[in-house]
Amino acid sequence: MQVLIAGGTGFIGGALRDYLTELSIDALVLTRKATESFHVAWSPEHKTCEIQQLRGVTHVINLTGAGIAEKRWTPHRKKELMDSRIKSTAYLHYLTQEHCPKLMGYVGISGVNAFGFSDEKIHLENDPFGSDFLSQLVAEWETVHRAFEGLPVFSVLRLGMVLSPRGGAYKKIAQPLRWGFGAVPGKGSQFVPWIHLNDVVEVIHHGIGHSLGITHLIAENSSMKEVTAAIAQKEHRKIYLPNIPPFMIRLIFGEMGDLLTESVRISNEKLLSFYELKHPTLSTL
């Protein structure tokens, strides 16, 4: 088995490669700057790749995509969020079709923000997409993922907020807490579907050998207040400041601020039918 990870130098990709290496699984990483022996240089924008290294690849894990919460969603940024997922995935499909004769399986990631925002409905995998920007992004991204659906193994994992002291959203929430400026975004009662990084990595590994189709990856639908409090406790800090009003978040972050102030509730029934979470509650962060 040889695994090719696209987008493998980020928060999830780094943890995933470490995990696969511990299992003695050969894992290559597609990256724009090849600085390690296991790196394979590529550029989806310019459609270039060190194709000679791909001949032995049996499984592809696609983690590509610019960070959803890194910048305001200007029209230019929205295009970047789309292109970094859709065009990269399309080029990845071309590469594997042409240069990976042993390819048997594909695992792609997506997001749970596929249905719009709601305090009440708990969404299943086959619920219809919403009409907001993130829902459209997920819908178009998953359409391109489906180019790999003819393989013996095919999985697309919709991730909730991925939490771990290693980085990601945890780090962004923890940093102001460490400085004494931590506060709960919005009302605090809004639901946040989250999952621990360790569980994400293990389910991705499971998806290499088992066709999971579209599957939601979340542990719980916790409130933003509960998530912030759990991270504060983990960091041995207290929350001194009042909640940040939704209008202020919208003023600072624009449309992207809805990620912090609006509710999403997601079912993990399918996930729990085949996987036992190692971090099922916020107390296990």
Residue linked to tokens 């359409």 = 143
Residue linked to tokens 């990631």 = 109
Among the listed residues 46, 49, 82, 62, the one whose alpha carbon sits nearest the alpha carbon of residue 6: 62
Q: Residues near 45 by Cβ (< 8 Å), separated by ≥ 6?
A: 87
DSSP character for 50?
-
pTM as predicted: 0.96
Which sign does the torsion angle of CA 201, 202, 204, 209 carry?
positive
Provide the token pair at 259.
């990620």
DSSP character for 219?
S
Provide the token pair at 25.
């699984």
Give the 3-state secondary structure of residue 250: helix
Residue 154's beta-bridge partner residues?
106
Residue linked to tokens 């959803």 = 68
Euclidean distance between CA atoms 160 and 143, whole angstroms: 19
Euclidean distance between CA atoms 218 and 179, whole angstroms: 29
Q: Residues near 99 by Cβ (< 8 Å), separated by ≥ 6?
A: 51, 54, 55
Q: What is the pLDDT of residue 23?
A: 98
Q: Residues near 18 by Cβ (< 8 Å), separated by ≥ 6?
A: none
Contact 247, 261 (CB under 8 A): no
Among the listed residues 216, 231, 225, 217, the one whose alpha carbon sits nearest the alpha carbon of residue 282: 231
Euclidean distance between CA atoms 101 and 209, whole angstroms: 18
Contact 162, 171 (CB under 8 A): no
Euclidean distance between CA atoms 99 and 259, whole angstroms: 39
DSSP letters, 37-80, are TTEEEEETTTTEE-GGG-TT--EEEE-----TTSS---HHHHHH
Q: What is the pLDDT of residue 144?
A: 98
Domain boundaries, the chain: 2-163+193-221+266-278
Provide the token pair at 215.
């599957």
Per-residue pLDDT of the chain (285 residues; tens, 9 = 90+): 999 999 999 999 999 999 999 999 999 999 999 999 999 999 999 999 999 999 999 999 999 999 999 999 999 999 999 999 999 999 999 999 999 999 999 999 999 999 999 999 999 999 999 999 999 999 999 999 999 999 999 999 999 999 999 999 999 999 999 999 999 999 999 999 999 999 999 999 999 999 999 999 999 999 999 999 999 999 999 999 999 999 999 999 999 999 999 999 999 999 999 999 999 999 999
CATH, domain range 2-163+193-221+266-278? 3.40.50.720
